[in-house]
Structure 1
Amino acid sequence: MSSEEKRSWIYAVVGAGVATVYFVTVLSQVPGTDVARIAYVRPMLIAIGAGIGLGIVASIAAAIASPREAGRTDERDRQIHRLGEYVGFYVMSIAAIAPLALAMAEAAHFWIANTLYLAFVLATVAASITKIVLYRRGF
């Protein structure tokens, strides 16, 4: 497994895992509560920071575990990365319609912020999964 494929696995697992913990924690407060009273900003910032930090630490750990492969890329890796990022861009572009619509409908900031965070998570996971599929099935 190349270092780039390992990094894609890391980002898929970390992105989905951290977002799941965040959404379970915050959205479990929604039933029976006015969303304007839910403190979501700090947990969201912690989730974003944890996602970035865990991704960096896990990538460094993977590079230390297999130093020969670390940083070595070829044309195939670059093409897979580019295609994965294109998929992530399109997912983000489509998913960003929901928070935009919520803002136009003057929904609560809670819903706008959480749908925007979800859009970022979906884009990251979609890009990572696309890369993994391309590595596994060939490009």
Structure 2
Amino acid sequence: MTHEEKRAWIMLVVTVVAYCAYAVVIVGRADGHPLSEVAYTGVLLWTVGGAIVAAIVAEIGIGMVRPGASREKDVRDKEIGRRGEHIGQSFVVIGAVAAMLMAMAGWDRFWIANVIYLCFALSSVLGSLAKIIAYRGGFQQW
């Protein structure tokens, strides 16, 4: 498994765990009240920050387990990375358009922030999955 494939796995796992943790905390805080009344800002910031730290720590841990592993990217790694990012970026655009439309319609900030966070998470998951599939299934099939 190449270093870039390991990075994709780390990003996939960290993103799913972080977003699920965020959703569980927010739903738990609702306690029968509307979700838009839940204090979400701190949880969102801590979840995103924690995910960034977790990804960095996981990558350092992987580097410590295999210190001699090559971190050089070959042409295949670069192309898989580029295509994976392009595939994942579709959800960033979807999230931006959705947030813009929600803001124009006067939706609550809770929903706007959460659709943006959801689309960032989906972008990361989709991009990571595309990279993993390319590494596992063969890049030539694209």
* Interval containing the TM-score (normalised by the shorter chain): over 0.9
Contact 1:63 1:70 in 2 (8 A): no
Q: After TM superposition, give the deviation of residue 105 of structure 1 in Å.
A: 1.3
Q: After TM superposition, give the deviation of residue 34 of structure 1 in Å.
A: 4.0
Matches within 5 A, 1:92-107: 92-107=92-107
Letter of the 1:27 counterpart: V
Match of 1:27 in 2: 27
Match of 2:121 in 1: 121
Task: Give the aligned length.
Answer: 139
Deviations 1:53-88 (A, max 9, x none): 000000111111112224122111111000011111
Contact 1:85 1:127 in 2 (8 A): yes
Bigger mean CA deviation after superposition, 29-38 or 3-12: 29-38
Match of 2:43 in 1: 43
Percent identity for Structure 1 against Structure 2:
38
Matches within 5 A, 1:24-103: 24-30=24-30, 32-103=32-103
Secondary structure of 2:20's aligned partner: helix
Contact 1:9 1:128 in 2 (8 A): yes
Instruction: Note closer, same or farther for the CA distance 1:91–1:35 as it changes in structure 2 (3 Å cut).
Output: closer
User: Aligned equivalents of 1:29 and 1:107: distance in 2?
Assistant: 21
Contact 2:22 2:44 in 1 (8 A): yes
Contact 1:80 1:131 in 2 (8 A): yes
Secondary structure of 2:39's aligned partner: coil
User: Aligned equivalents of 2:105 and 2:124: distance in 1?
Assistant: 27
Bigger mean CA deviation after superposition, 53-62 or 33-42: 33-42
Q: Could you tell me which runs of 5 or more consecutive residues in structure 1 were left unpaired when the two chains were aligned.
A: none
Letter of the 2:109 counterpart: H
Q: After TM superposition, give the deviation of residue 36 of structure 1 in Å.
A: 4.8
Match of 1:132 in 2: 132
Secondary structure of 2:136's aligned partner: helix
Deviation beyond 6 Å, 4+ runs, structure 1: none
Q: After TM superposition, give the deviation of residue 104 of structure 1 in Å.
A: 1.5
Query: So what's the TM-score if we normalise by structure 2?
Result: 0.90
Query: So what's the TM-score if we normalise by structure 1?
Result: 0.92
Secondary structure of 2:130's aligned partner: helix
Bigger mean CA deviation after superposition, 7-16 or 102-111: 102-111
